């Protein structure tokens, strides 16, 4: 387990990012029922995640359409 302050910091960062993603999904017309599935997670080792869950195809396409074109051509960053 990680120290509580590190956990809280990671959770705050994940929650902030999840909130930004939820707002972006709402802007492109994804229904609230699907937007509400986006949530912040932190592992026991302190790694922060944003869980998106399964999106219906139309919502996934709406999100992709809203992304800048240059994002689509950029290689994935190493983890």
Token pair of 26 as six digits:
């709402």
Closest C-alpha among 24, 74, 23, 34 to residue 58: 34
pLDDT digits over 12-70, tens only?
Answer: 999 999 999 999 999 999 999 999 999 999 999 999 999 998 999 999 999 888 888 76
Question: 26 with 32: CB under 8 angstroms?
Answer: yes
pTM higher than the cut 0.75: yes
Burial (0-12, 13-18, 19+ Cβ within 10 Å), 44: exposed
Burial (0-12, 13-18, 19+ Cβ within 10 Å), 7: middle
């Amino acid at each position: 387990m990680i120290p509580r302050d590190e956990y809280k910091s990671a959770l705050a960062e994940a929650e902030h990012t999840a909130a930004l993603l939820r707002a972006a999904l709402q802007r492109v017309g994804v229904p609230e029922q699907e937007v509400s599935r986006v949530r912040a997670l932190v592992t026991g080792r302190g790694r922060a995640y944003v869980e998106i869950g399964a999106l219906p195809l139309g919502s996934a396409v709406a999100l992709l359409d809203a992304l800048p074109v240059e994002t689509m051509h950029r290689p994935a960053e190493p983890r």
